[in-house]
Structure 1
């Protein structure tokens, strides 16, 4: 799966979870850049991502995912 396909699948997830219909995903996007991105919404988003891509994240992987680009790379490694 390439980056563009992953971004196409991630974008609606992020927009729904964070109630931000205009949100544009970039590699550098992080929780600091999104108003509604707190610990609860982060866990909701990660669960949605796992379901959408049919993958599971380990706790140590989750701790390393601070930016969208890191999430994309992790998804690529599992897809």
Structure 2
């Protein structure tokens, strides 16, 4: 039954490697990519806000439109 213990150790090692890889990927995203994604989101928001301001000048009476949505599906659709 010695082989069964070795198989269990190998399975545990594999699980630790997988969890470590997932943790490393998450930290890489948070440290490496998140600041750039935040800046891109801010740029999109400011561009969207400037477009809204220009539209309000074009339509001074207001059409009763809903405020812009923060939902990504709606943002991509617009």
TM range (shorter): under 0.3
| Structure that is richer in helix per residue | 2
TM-score, normalised with respect to structure 1: 0.27
TM-score, normalised with respect to structure 2: 0.27
